[in-house]
Amino acid sequence: MSHHQSPPAPPAASLALSEFDFDLPPALIAQHPAAERRASRLLHMPAPDAPADAAAAPTLRDLNFPDLRGLLRPGDLLVFNDTRVIKARLFGRKPTGGRIELLIERVLDGNCALAQIRASHAPASGSSLYFADRAACQVLDRDGRFYLLEFNCDVWALLDREGSLPLPPYIEHAPDGADAERYQTVYAANPGAVAAPTAGLHFDDAMLAALRADGVRLAFVTLHVGAGTFLPVKAESIAEHKMHSEVYSIDEHTAAEIAAAKAEGRRVIAVGTTSLRAMEAASQSGALVAGKGETDIFITPGYRFRTVDALLTNFHLPRSTLLMLVSAFAGHARIRAAYAHAVEHGYRFFSYGDAMFLERDDTTQPGAAA
């Protein structure tokens, strides 16, 4: 089944891209992971107690990631994204010898894939591209940024043999052995992502065991993060931005866990924006529905959240769709204040950076319904 976003709430139409910009010193962009997964910092922003408090500067607590245990309650349901990052970057050449770089966005079946191609000149439909070990592909079609490619071999096997880890564009070193381990969650299970669900990178096995012992429940969804997560928004009116589409899956067990938590008044907490997107996409008709689908849900201030009560997330790029999402969740002005605090206090940003724990600001929710 396929779920798509309902039309954006009216406030989104009037929001300008410049309202989601902020100055970030380059030194705060984390180039390498912390020494240990749980060694990052954690900025806690509780929900305002009353509508009058929503306009005031938020109460912020500077914590360390293991302190998350103290913010969670027995019965809370933590929902993780168990996608696995694939070695999606391939280097090859044109028949002329010109070099090309592929970023596989999605493997469609054993021999076909969608990919972005970086080359001095865009390859024409019908042309061939060559890789190591006589592997080759033919360009079948192009749709915007993505090319449809047909390979003369199994794509998964080729990536496993010749591919490299697709680190985000703001990480300046080539991937190494440390990245192969640390740019993957400890619970990664289903291959298909070209970017890590980075809020999950902070958890190690001992932390997961401790949370279970605390009475916190754990569940898993799958959303294969696409390269579109790094795409800049170009339209000055954000309502004009076309969101990238990603594949997700929520099984019956996880859907039942979420339904039970909602019925019993227990919190559903998304570990990362990708888990949140999957759950909200599957909740567009009201209650969350199990199944597989594609979502291009674009969450901006004015969106009414149906399932997620709290969010663990890293710090996001200026002018990005993810910054808009957390602004919708926790309040636009409050997120601006939190990010200013994070910059002032030297938090580490982006994929290998520190985390935030956000409680939903219900004063910003249309109709005040959850």
Q: pLDDT by residue (tens digit) across 241-285?
A: 888 899 999 999 999 999 999 999 999 999 999 999 999 999 999
268 Cβ contact partners less than 8 Å away, ≥ 6 residues apart: 77, 79, 258, 261, 262, 279, 307, 308, 309, 310
pLDDT in tens, 167-208: 998 999 999 999 999 999 999 999 999 999 999 999 999 999
pLDDT in tens, 37-66: 999 999 999 998 877 677 778 999 999 999
Give the pLDDT confidence score for residue 10 in this predicted structure: 40
355-366: average pLDDT: 91
Give the pLDDT confidence score for residue 234 in this predicted structure: 87
Angle (nearest 5°) at CA 128 between 126 and 132: 160
Beta bridge partners of 359: 310
pLDDT in tens, 60-72: 999 999 999 999 9
Which candidate, 316, 324, 318, 281, places its Cα nearest to that of 299?
324
Mean pLDDT of the chain: 92
Residue 338 gets which letter from DSSP? Answer: H
Q: Say if residues 130 and 120 touch (Cβ distance below 8 Å).
A: no
Q: Which domains does the chain have, with CATH numbers?
A: 10-85+178-368 (3.40.1780.10), 89-162 (2.40.10.240)
- Percent with pLDDT over 70 in the chain: 95
Strands (E), 69-223: 77-81, 83-85, 89-93, 99-107, 112-119, 128-130, 136-143, 146-151, 190-193, 217-223
pLDDT bracket for residue 12 (50, 70, 90): low
Which candidate, 6, 192, 212, 239, places its Cα nearest to that of 83?
192
123 Cβ contact partners less than 8 Å away, ≥ 6 residues apart: 94, 100, 117, 129, 139, 147
Give the pLDDT confidence score for residue 116 in this predicted structure: 94
pLDDT in tens, 123-161: 999 999 999 989 999 999 998 889 999 999 999 999 999
Q: Say if residues 106 and 192 touch (Cβ distance below 8 Å).
A: yes
> Could you count the other beta carbons within 10 Å of the beta carbon of residue 296?
15
pLDDT in tens, 293-342: 999 999 999 999 999 999 999 999 999 999 999 999 999 999 999 999 99
Question: Distance between CA atoms of 300 and 306, rounded to whole angstroms?
Answer: 14
pLDDT in tens, 100-129: 999 999 999 889 999 999 999 999 999 999
The whole-model pTM stands at 0.92
Looking at the predicted structure, is the pLDDT value of residue 370 above 70? no
